[in-house]
Amino acid sequence: MNEKDHSRAQRRTTSNGLAVAVWGGFFMMASLPGATAAHFEDAVQAIAQRDHGNASCAASGANKQSRVYVSEDVPQIIEDFSVALSQLIIEDSILIPDLNVTITITHTCGSDLSAYLQSPSGTVVQLFREVGVPCEADFANTLLDDEALVSITEGSAPYTGAYRPEGSLSEFDGEDAQGPWTLLVQDDRLMQTGTLDGWSLEIGASDIAMSSLRVPRFVDR
């Protein structure tokens, strides 16, 4: 940070003696001896409550909750050699710390299918591609989670439970969730068809709401 940037920063000293500056919507913490993450969280909360008057903007470990958004743009028919598209529009402005996807598909041959998720920012992640060889039917409440122990490529139909996707959902981390999300399910073979019955997104809890603040990124040394 240059001298001009420093002049624009609003400095605060909290009751625990931790020096924190607010600049351009970001929080910056001085690297003081003994400073901990808990001190930083207390500082952010104090500043958010004092300067923004909105407790929902404060970092609070006690009230962290994930949010689930369910697409209403279903069912969608999955035909041979075609792509079924379904959208989910998120109105909340949330900085994504972690994202999971749950899918339910009725199809007589899952190995015909490939699925991709596109964010409002245009990022595309491959969820799976032609898994379940030889043909296995259906995906029933299949949770795709980067932290799952088993890869979707090692699972078997109906894939109920948690699996790691073939791509990495962490590609969405740091993006604003607000806007239209698109799930694409592609059928690459003849003779077998099906239906995208439902899908949803789970966005993990973040420390600070996007409504007025951003997740801490800078340390002022």
In DSSP notation, the chain reads --HHHHHH-EEEE-TT--EEEEETTEEEEE--TT--HHHHHHHHHHHIIIII--GGGS--GGG---EEEE--S--EEE-TTEEEEEEEEE-S--B-S-EEEEEEEEES-GGGEEEEEE-TT--EEEEEES-SSS----EEEEEE-TT-SSBGGG--TT--EEEB-SS-GGGGTTSB--EEEEEEEEE-SSS--EEEEEEEEEE---SS-TTT-----EEE-
List of residues 6+ apart from 119 with CB closer than 8 A = 172, 175, 177, 179, 181
Query: Is the separation of the CB atoms in 182 and 172 below 8 Å?
Result: no
Using a pLDDT cut of 90, give the percent of the chain over it. 49
Backbone torsions φ then ψ of 85, nearest 5 degrees: -115, 140
pLDDT at 30 over 80: no
Strand duo 161-163 + 139-144: pairing: parallel
The residue type found at 115 is A
Nearest by Cα to 106 from 75, 85, 82: 75
Query: Is the separation of the CB atoms in 178 and 69 below 8 Å?
Result: no
Mean pLDDT of 33-54: 46
pLDDT at 35 over 80: no
- Mean pLDDT over all residues of the chain? 74
Mean pLDDT of 180-184: 98
pLDDT given for residue 69 in this prediction: 98
Domains of the chain: which residue ranges?
A: 3-63+208-220, 67-203
pLDDT given for residue 64 in this prediction: 59
pLDDT in tens, 129-167: 988 767 777 899 999 999 999 999 999 889 999 999 999
pLDDT-based confidence at residue 1 (cuts at 50, 70, 90): very low
Q: What's the CATH architecture for 67-203?
A: Sandwich (2.60)
Distance of CA 16 to the CA centre of its chain: 33
pLDDT-based confidence at residue 42 (cuts at 50, 70, 90): low
pLDDT given for residue 34 in this prediction: 55
pLDDT at 66 over 60: yes
Query: Is the separation of the CB atoms in 48 and 42 below 8 Å?
Result: no
pLDDT in tens, 80-134: 889 999 999 999 999 999 999 999 999 887 678 999 999 999 999 999 998 876 7
The residue type found at 175 is E
